[in-house]
Structure 1
Amino acid sequence: MFCEQCEQTASGQGCHQWGACGKSPEVNGVHDLLIYCLRGLAPVALGAHKLGISTHNIDVFTCEAMFATMTNVNFDQKRLNDYVRRAIAYREQLKLQIQQATGVAQTWSDISCYQPNFDDSLAEQGQDITLKFISQSGTNVDIFSLKLTVLYGLKGVASYAFHAQELGQEDERVYKFCYEALANLDNQDLSLDHWVNLALKVGEINLLTMELLDAGHTSTYGHPVPTLVDLHAKAGKAILVSGHDIPQLEAILKQTVGTSITVYTHGELLPAHGYPRLKQTYPHLYGHYGTAWQNQTKEFAKFPGAIIITTNCLMPPHANYEDKLFSIGPVGYPGLNYLNAGVDGSIDFAPAIRKALELPEFREDEVTNVPRQVTTGFARNAILSVADQIITAVKAGQIRHFFLIGGCDGAKPDRNYYTELVEKVPNDCIILTLACGKFRFFDKDLGDIGGIPRLLDVGQCNDAYSAIQIALALANAFEVDVNELPLSMILSWYEQKAVAILLTLLYLGIKDIRLGPTLPAFISPNVFKLLSQKYNLQPITKPDADLAACLAPESYALQ
């Protein structure tokens, strides 16, 4: 196998024997085959677009299928094989519609005519395609590096588009670009500059997609407000919901009304507690249980009730909790309870609810009498509502610097860098955080500056749009470029949504980003040098050294 799409690749160079995420070479092979089939579908879909043929169902499918190939999402070969079949069926359906519309038989490239042999190993066919894809790069490692950057960033865009369309937020430009980028991966004649620009275009389209997702969340559930969230359980039956999918969390809440079941969030769903309409409507949405995705094998085993995982990141489940774990959407694992959507797209969570009622509950003697709480909900409206107070504090020297410290968490011990960094940030600095990287330090009491908490949880990785808007609004308020703000971005990455977000930041021209804990294996030395020269993108080093560099007086116009 060949896979280097996530941060935890073997030896920082790529997984070749078995995936660090737990996927087998066979699953990786079908992932690659599915992407190849989507690349072949893309030119046909673009041809249909030109003729005004509706491709909406195929657009949504394409995003879901790409989502399924992301790290820690789908390990189930049977379901992946079905994605491949559907991709081919959709492609041939569109070809027929195009021929009927034009009255002419079209000539399609080899990739758009590819037919997998479903009687043979799809994994082996995918492995052969991967070798072909690698060999096509020839000696130009930098173009191959950028092709992978585009592909992995595109997977992140697809995941955000998948979530946005669940909330009724779609834009044809997103779907069209996905097809254009997929189709370009087969092009051998594009220059290095073209691939750099295409990677930045991924960032531009990702910004649009995150804006759609933000609009879906805020129009449906209201703008997040600072909210105290309990970190301890209460007695009674329980369901734990993990992942990122807030509409599916609401569906679970609707179906558990009146059941005496308490619903807890896990992982990236912590910020759901900040949405006022969600919390007000469903009082049995109680608290948050556990931390980041890589700890789920221990945390899921201890949780007494049923567990539903809505999106990445799924760890290969252990036998001691597998029977009470359910997955939905693109998430899958062999033998895992899967709740399929009906014709109308809705999911019946009755099997998970029955399981929760059958399982043990949190007992009174297990419930701590010492409350633990964290605050979430510091999205852009909450922070910008006190913008005048923030500006005054900066001008008065009470707030010296802002740090955005967040991103993906992971299992590697060198991620302790982020905990140490937060602990060493001076008391006159504000820390914005988001995504599951915050679980390294989310429960630390860092105090406040003039009533403004020093640690502000902006939300999920899906809420990176909110963090960007905060930075842009502050720059506008101070009448400076965003790069002149006393703001440092120190990011952790793990999977492909983080790649898309990084490309968005670069598209916006944001400089001096520090990235870790290691650099992407798919970024060649020359490509990283190019990004370093243009954007001063740099790897993290040591907390003390990075803090000193970020706080240097000459670094920012307001200091």
Structure 2
Amino acid sequence: MSMFCHQCQEAMKNIGCNMDVGVCGKTSEVANLQDLLIYTLKGVAEFNQQARMIGMNRPETDRLIMDGLFSTITNANFDDESISKRIDAAIETREAIKSALEEKDALAEKEYQDYATWTAERHEYEAKSEEAPVGILGTENEDVRSLRSLVLFGLKGMAAYAEHADNLGYQNEEIFDFVEKALVATEDDSLSADDLVALVMETGKYGVDVMALLDEANTSSYGNPEMTEVEIGVRNNPAILVSGHDLKDFEELLEQTAGTGVDIYTHSEMLPANYYPAFKKYDHFVGNYGNAWWQQKKEFESFNGPVLFTTNCIVPPKASYQDRIYTTGATGYPGFKHIEPREEGGKKDFSEIIEHAKQLPAPTQIEEGTIVGGFAHNQVTQLADKIVDAVKSGSISKFFVMAGCDGRMKSREYYTDFAQTLPEDTVILTAGCAKYRYNKLPLNDIGGIPRVLDAGQCNDSYSLAVVAMKLKEIFELNDINELPIEYNIAWYEQKAVIVLLALLHLGVKDIKLGPTLPAFLSPNVANVLVEKFGISGINEVETDMETMMA
């Protein structure tokens, strides 16, 4: 049986991938196993909600749920064996929690649904994954299915950010509790459409909370990002290229490569690691290599050295470099070497990838010069007086939030064209890999303020929200939508979904979302978003420019 997957922007015909291999490259077997993993995690959540009520929750359960959700994000894990192991662990954990509740006579007496009771041998998983209740199409009503998808995909993005924070020792039990509650709610047929809309908005609230948590974790661990010129050329040493988002992995790799003669470069969403003060002390940390994730086939080939994926954004590789790709954390791909999790209180062992790097040539240079970034909320706050003066004097007429994801569709050239067409008295606020559409353009500055202010990774969209709230306070406005800020956001996968829901929770309206609206939005749900929040798709650059500058 083929898959049905509609969670990313590349969903076939903007409906869903329903063939043997999805547009992202994952097989139908992997897609269906990922659905089965989510289905099983709902059972874990069902019983762990009861365990929480009597103080029986364990951190390992929180990590299992977050990691499981994270591993099903687009382009994160293509390995059926890896996903099957997670299903094994989910069943084992679910049954252990259930048994513990029974021992304490604390198990609720009710009729449990299949997701909370099913069990099978490993060789039976594939058949189970094809049963009607498991996948999203098991929900027949398209509006209910759409709202459940919106919640689930938001939870996946939330789990990614929660896992990064947890890796740095920062947790929020309310977030873990909500994720469980929401997972169970997506199987509750008694909830009305209004109930599900409320759950969508609550998901946005916790999206703000999880991004604030990760911001605290990152800045407390590595300092506040600061304005930085990042080298995009290369040196002549063997090197490792680090892709993804996880700063704890990045720190440990930097520590273990110090003094080895192996240089470190960032790639795609790891670029903002260059902005953190704590990483600048490593003289073998060179800068950034390449562009957004979708160009990796060309850029990994020319890099020559090994590549480490700390999170999602894997593109099925060319055979020419497959043997030098490593994964860790929630990621996986058949044939890639996987670096195992750190033991409690310990560190990951990167010795194999380091030794591999020593045997390979230095990177081939593909660019030269520098790019500027590091404009998270603390840095922008330091520039607040300058920015306010520029707005009051008319030197800056508007800000454009152009955050989110990049992708390989030709229609995404819209964002480069839009940035180039913007009047010279406007400033772009960005975060995420969408920045690669315009962060190397010669857009100059306004009185020393760069016209592209890069806050960092996709989760650093939180910084853009903090900046907006700060400007609202400075200008003594009642509504965030009174600010001279327009939102033209690109999306690709589920972390962008939680960013969008977070912005809606904060009251931001009139967001343009592209290059297409999500395939998982039914017409009725899309209309709700249009009528309540003013969300719209993109049009021609000139048309959108005229509307947004008005």
Aligned counterpart in structure 2 of residue 125 of structure 1, from 124, 128, 134: 128
CA contact (8 A) 1:33 1:129 kept: no
Aligned counterpart in structure 1 of residue 394 of structure 2, from 390, 394, 397: 397
Matches within 5 A, 1:473-484: 473-480=470-477, 481-484=479-482
Q: Please give the TM-score of this superposition, normalised by the length of structure 2.
A: 0.97
CA contact (8 A) 1:238 1:305 kept: yes
For 1:206 and 1:89, the matched residues in 2 are separated by: 29
Query: What secondary structure sits across from 2:270 in the alignment?
Result: helix
For 2:540, the aligned partner's letter is: K
| Match in the other structure for 2:213 | 212
Structure 1 residues 127, 218: closer, same or farther in 2, change over 3 A? Answer: same
Return the offset for 1:115. Answer: 2.9
- Structure 1: tracts of 5 or more residues without a match: 553-559
Matches within 5 A, 1:84-99: 84-99=87-102
Aligned counterpart in structure 2 of residue 100 of structure 1, from 100, 103, 115: 103
Matches within 5 A, 1:122-521: 122-129=125-132, 133-135=136-138, 137-138=139-140, 140-280=141-281, 282-344=282-344, 346-362=347-363, 371-480=368-477, 481-521=479-519
CA offset digits 1:68-123 (Å, max 9, x no partner): 01100011111111100100111111112112223778555033543332253422
Query: What secondary structure sits across from 2:130 in the alignment?
Result: helix
Query: What secondary structure sits across from 1:479 in the alignment?
Result: coil
Is 1:531 matched with 2:532?
no
Structure 1 residues 378, 107: closer, same or farther in 2, change over 3 A? Answer: same
For 1:341 and 1:248, the matched residues in 2 are separated by: 10
Structure 1 residues 275, 525: closer, same or farther in 2, change over 3 A? Answer: same
Structure 1 residues 105, 222: closer, same or farther in 2, change over 3 A? Answer: closer
Return the offset for 1:478. Answer: 0.6
Return the offset for 1:199. Answer: 0.5
Cα RMSD (Å):
1.5
For 1:11 and 1:416, the matched residues in 2 are separated by: 19
For 1:15, the aligned partner's letter is: C
| Match in the other structure for 1:546 | 544
Query: What secondary structure sits across from 1:102 in the alignment?
Result: coil
Aligned counterpart in structure 2 of residue 7 of structure 1, from 6, 9, 16: 9
Query: What secondary structure sits across from 1:539 in the alignment?
Result: coil
For 2:89 and 2:319, the matched residues in 1 are separated by: 31
For 1:189 and 1:105, the matched residues in 2 are separated by: 18
For 2:107 and 2:23, the matched residues in 1 are separated by: 48
Structure 1 residues 528, 107: closer, same or farther in 2, change over 3 A? Answer: closer
Query: What secondary structure sits across from 2:18 in the alignment?
Result: coil
For 1:131 and 1:356, the matched residues in 2 are separated by: 42
Is 1:76 matched with 2:79?
yes
Is 1:114 matched with 2:131?
no
Percent of aligned pairs sharing the same letter = 41
Return the offset for 1:129. Answer: 4.0
CA contact (8 A) 1:232 1:372 kept: yes
For 1:133 and 1:313, the matched residues in 2 are separated by: 23
Return the offset for 1:124. Answer: 2.8
Which moves more between the two structures, 271-280 or 109-118? 109-118
CA offset digits 1:251-291 (Å, max 9, x no partner): 100000110111000010111111011112x1211110011
Q: Please give the TM-score of this superposition, normalised by the length of structure 1.
A: 0.95
Query: What secondary structure sits across from 1:128 in the alignment?
Result: coil
CA contact (8 A) 1:159 1:497 kept: yes
Is 1:24 matched with 2:22?
no
For 2:208 and 2:116, the matched residues in 1 are separated by: 33
Structure 1 residues 132, 518: closer, same or farther in 2, change over 3 A? Answer: closer
Return the offset for 1:393. Answer: 1.1
For 1:347 and 1:120, the matched residues in 2 are separated by: 31
For 1:519 and 1:394, the matched residues in 2 are separated by: 32
For 2:462 and 2:333, the matched residues in 1 are separated by: 31
CA contact (8 A) 2:429 2:454 kept: yes
For 1:466, the aligned partner's letter is: S
For 2:193 and 2:496, the matched residues in 1 are separated by: 23
For 2:58 and 2:319, the matched residues in 1 are separated by: 41
Aligned counterpart in structure 1 of residue 47 of structure 2, from 44, 47, 61: 44
For 1:483 and 1:525, the matched residues in 2 are separated by: 26
For 1:95, the aligned partner's letter is: K
For 1:538 and 1:485, the matched residues in 2 are separated by: 19
CA offset digits 1:223-268 (Å, max 9, x no partner): 0110011111111111100111111111100000110111000010
Structure 1 residues 327, 77: closer, same or farther in 2, change over 3 A? Answer: same
Structure 1 residues 104, 306: closer, same or farther in 2, change over 3 A? Answer: closer
For 1:198 and 1:39, the matched residues in 2 are separated by: 16
For 1:101 and 1:218, the matched residues in 2 are separated by: 42
Number of equivalenced pairs? 545
For 2:399 and 2:440, the matched residues in 1 are separated by: 19
CA offset digits 1:439-497 (Å, max 9, x no partner): 11111121111111111111100211111100110111111121001100100000000
- Structure 2: tracts of 5 or more residues without a match: none
CA contact (8 A) 1:46 1:180 kept: yes
For 1:455, the aligned partner's letter is: V
For 2:89 and 2:489, the matched residues in 1 are separated by: 37
CA contact (8 A) 1:204 1:507 kept: yes
CA contact (8 A) 2:241 2:267 kept: yes
| Match in the other structure for 2:59 | 56
